[in-house]
Structure 1
Amino acid sequence: MKETIFLSIASYLDPMLFFTLNDAVAKASHPERLAFAVVDQNTEDQRAAIAALPFARQVRYVHLHPEDTLGVSWARSVAFSLYDGEDYLLQIDSHMLFEQGWDSKLLAQHAKLRLRSAKPVVSTYPYRFDFVDGVPQPMKNEGRTALVLRPHPEKSPSADDAVLRFMARHLFTDEPVLGCHVSAGFLFAAGAFVEEVPYDPYLYFHGEEQSLAVRAFTRGWDIFHPLLIPVYHLYKSEGTAYTTHHWHGECEARRAFRSSYLQERAKQRLNRLLMGDGLPGAYGLGNVRTMQQFRELSGIDYANQTITDPFDGKLC
């Protein structure tokens, strides 16, 4: 059976987009089974460059001027709309490096997890890579620990703000770890995820991953943090202003909705999802599991604004 993979990529003024596309194809065991959904938020339409790629027929390309975009969640919802029944979903950022045979490795991990869950999701924050003398150098990934995503201690939920910060912490283990949070920059699951957990276009940036994780969980999906991650991420420096941030630059002043409004709207939407009526509809909670069950798994109690550690201090 041919196992096709739908790669969802939302790019914003990213010079690494074509590096990512080419690297994914060059290092795949079965590049012919890949289908790319590229939402390119760029001042220039790059359709001609896409058409020149040897795998151009596998790329579904949408160009949007940065002035017309409403943030990463909105862009990823557009990418999801390009899904066409592929067997698997891989959502990534547009500045990624791949290991050789990354597709076979992810499929093998997913098949093994199917013995533990009917609907597994493989997700965590990928290890970084950097360019050294122009050559991409990935951080060593030894596979002795899983990167478990947990709330950052500096930010707790409050009665009027459910948005949390998350960080990756190591857990020494020999198998993938059941978790409560996803990385929007590395998420691998059956293709049905696209239809069962559609991207909420009314979110902006903060809270995007919380929404995905809780909505997936309450719809019966199980999140697993893997030991081996066959993709790497080019991270920005924290606290540095970048023109490639959606809220930065001249475009911000010309948009119909300013980033401050979009952030506040997203916060209120997340509050309603996690601490209100559950946001009835496609972008709300599912009915397979409850928020009480999520609290028992995660230690995150949105109703009472408390966080406990279900790993009993074993994370490092």
Structure 2
Amino acid sequence: MHFRNSFSILDEHRRTIVLLANYRDSNRCAETLNSLFSQAARPDLLSVSIFDQVYPHERRCMDVYCANVGESTCRRAQVVRRTDMLDAAAATGPTLARHETERGIDLNIDTFALSIDSHLVFTSHWDMELKRQWDGLANPRAILTTYPKSTEHQFNVAKIFTDWIGLGKFTRFCIFVFWGVDLMGLSSSGTTSVMCYARIETDDADAMVQFSATAEMFFIWTPRRIAQFAGGFNFGTAAAALAVRNDPLTPFLFHGEEYSKAARLFTHGYDTYAPTVDIVYHWYESRPVIWERDWPERYVVSQRSKRRVRAMLGLPTSSNDWDPTNVSQFGLGKVRSFDAFVAFSGIDPRGPKLEPENSQQFDSCKYHRHGP
């Protein structure tokens, strides 16, 4: 892998495939595509692989996007690598959907893969910023990932002002350090979101680790090494996305899948990092969800999925009724041990659920870890 110390926008040539799973969210999904392409410095280097889960009477993401911006602008034939659809009634959650988007990756074409939620807003030249940060790590196994801030933080008054008068990031940083500026309380400029909290989700024998909301940490110069992973925003090589794929055999699993993916990445030798600046913002709002129908029956299935995850991590389960299909394909790697991941992350998956509930049961925010 060749890392670039510096590059101009016009000299950049490495392609990124964007993996997007959409569950009955086509309007926001279309807005996400518009933001993705319009804010990119090199939209010509982007392709998308979309997996729509919609009811027959609902429109698909790309169709809404192209209707909004026009067929000539949406460039459907040029940007769509793969687009598949599943009736929402048959949808089984994020792991299958994300696995299906990965089918669009072509290692002969794609250098990078960006997996995202269907409801994001991108910052200007986000594509160059992700590549710049990834290159700066000089680590071919680096994954940039975080839970993005809310779109409420998108319009940063201080940034707009300092950009308008020609001040760069360093000057803006100095203003916040020495003046303590907080213009009208509308922004948390100078901070970045870092995943460093987690908790045991339930008090049963098949409990999952759930990653909690991010901590806002003050300006960091280089991506911070973390132990966590966000399914809805992660950027690394296309080869990494295929080496450690989402497990499609965990239907109706919603929280434990990110802990499992973090552990699998770590044990396969990959390292996760928090970006230094906000790359995207997230629409946190009410939307259709997979548990909107038949949840009593689906809950039983989800419990078996939790047992599959625990078994593949080497954790005890309440029964052996989980699906053993392709365990080696979606299990732990052999580069580093799961015990090493537990030690590095500071998260004990065998721990109890705390009462009263504590989303910061496991807290690594005060550490800047340099892992094994």
The counterpart of 1:64, out of the listed 75, 81, 86, is 86
Q: Secondary structure at the match of 2:136?
A: helix
Cα shift at 1:198: 0.8
Please state if 1:162 is matched with 2:208.
yes
Does structure 1 retain, via aligned residues, the 8 Å contact 2:198–2:362?
A: no
Cα shift at 1:293: 1.3
The counterpart of 1:245, out of the listed 275, 289, 297, is 289
Alignment-derived partner of residue 10 in structure 1: 21
Alignment-derived partner of residue 229 in structure 1: 278
1:111-126 alignment runs, 5 A limit? 111-114=135-138, 117-126=139-148
Q: Secondary structure at the match of 1:6?
A: strand
Give CA deviations for 1:61-110 in whole Å, capped at 9, x if unaligned. 11221012111111111111121221101111111111110100100010
* Separation in 2, partners of 1:212, 1:285: 9
Q: Secondary structure at the match of 2:341?
A: helix
Q: Secondary structure at the match of 2:208?
A: coil
Distance 1:124-1:247 versus aligned 2 partners, 3 A rule: same
Q: Secondary structure at the match of 2:309?
A: helix
* Separation in 1, partners of 2:365, 2:102: 34
Give CA deviations for 1:234-261 in whole Å, capped at 9, x if unaligned. 0126xxxx5x111104xx48xxx94213
Could you tell me which runs of 5 or more consecutive residues in structure 2 were left unpaired when the two chains were aligned: 1-11, 157-185, 317-323, 354-360
The counterpart of 1:287, out of the listed 296, 317, 334, is 334
* Separation in 2, partners of 1:84, 1:190: 11
**Count of aligned positions:** 297
Give CA deviations for 1:159-204 in whole Å, capped at 9, x if unaligned. 5323334221133343321111111111011111221111101222
Q: Kindly name which structure, 1 or 2, has the bigger radius of gyration based on alpha carbons.
A: 2
Does structure 1 retain, via aligned residues, the 8 Å contact 2:34–2:65?
A: no
Alignment-derived partner of residue 255 in structure 2: 206
Please state if 1:38 is matched with 2:87.
no
Alignment-derived partner of residue 171 in structure 1: 217
Does structure 2 retain, via aligned residues, the 8 Å contact 1:142–1:228?
A: no
Deviates more, 1:279-288 or 1:138-147: 138-147
* Separation in 2, partners of 1:141, 1:90: 25
Cα RMSD between the aligned structures? 2.9
* Separation in 2, partners of 1:181, 1:157: 22
Please state if 1:148 is matched with 2:195.
yes
Deviates more, 1:268-277 or 1:209-218: 268-277
* Separation in 2, partners of 1:91, 1:55: 21
Q: Secondary structure at the match of 1:182?
A: coil
1:291-302 alignment runs, 5 A limit? 291-302=338-349
The counterpart of 1:183, out of the listed 210, 230, 239, is 230
* Separation in 2, partners of 1:311, 1:156: 23
Does structure 2 retain, via aligned residues, the 8 Å contact 1:27–1:98?
A: yes
* Separation in 1, partners of 2:112, 2:269: 17
Cα shift at 1:26: 0.8
Cα shift at 1:286: 0.3
Cα shift at 1:25: 0.7
Does structure 2 retain, via aligned residues, the 8 Å contact 1:207–1:270?
A: yes
The counterpart of 1:270, out of the listed 306, 309, 319, is 309
Alignment-derived partner of residue 75 in structure 2: 55
Distance 1:42-1:3 versus aligned 2 partners, 3 A rule: same
Cα shift at 1:310: 4.6
The counterpart of 1:109, out of the listed 129, 133, 141, is 133
Q: Secondary structure at the match of 1:247?
A: helix
Q: One-letter code of the match for 2:39? A: K
Q: Secondary structure at the match of 1:184?
A: coil
Q: One-letter code of the match for 1:94? A: S
Identity %: 27
Please state if 1:28 is matched with 2:64.
no
Cα shift at 1:216: 0.5
Does structure 2 retain, via aligned residues, the 8 Å contact 1:73–1:199?
A: yes
* Higher fraction of helix: 2
* Separation in 1, partners of 2:192, 2:32: 26
Give CA deviations for 1:198-234 in whole Å, capped at 9, x if unaligned. 1101222121211111100100100001221211110
